Amino acid sequence: MTHAESHADPFGVAPGRAVYTADGDHLGTVKEVSAGYFKVQASMRPDYWLQSQFVSSAATDRITMDFAKEALDDYKLDGPPVTGAADPDAVAGMTHDPSMPANAAAATIQAAAHQHERG
């Protein structure tokens, strides 16, 4: 187990915690945590990643996201950015750019990539 997997991130996400949407649907269990992102192990579905910044509350056994189940596809990611991008919190305010995609998670990743390109 790596250091990132063994401890909760600043948003309270830690491996083994159940993940729910804002409207109470169970998404799965946190499988892995990595620099502002976490992998959801979904029962009988492929695993996917979410950004920790979209966690609305975290308890010792439960993570609740700030979006409803119907919006889940807008937040799913294949994995955390590989560009070594900045902390997602640092670029979250950049998602207002009209050239950004409608998908909030993709917009944050794109903003981080632009931030990284600017140096």
Same domain, 63 and 98: no
Whether residue 51 contacts residue 13, with contact meaning beta carbons closer than 8 Å, is answered with no
Measured over the CA atoms of residue 100, residue 67, residue 12 and residue 26, the dihedral's sign is negative
Q: What is the pLDDT of residues 21-52, one digit of tens each?
A: 999 999 999 999 998 999 999 989 999 999 99
Total tally of structural domains belonging to the chain: 2
Write down the pTM of the prediction: 0.65
Q: How far apart are CA 84 and CA 88, in angstroms?
A: 11
Q: Which two tokens stand for residue 22?
A: 């804002």
Could you tell me the residue range of the domain that residue 67 belongs to? 1-76
Please give the share of the chain, as a percent, with pLDDT higher than 90. Answer: 50
Chain-centre distance for alpha carbon 112: 14
Same domain, 68 and 103: no
Same domain, 72 and 90: no
pLDDT value at 15 more than 90: yes
Residues 6 or more apart in contact with residue 97 via CB below 8 angstroms: 107, 111
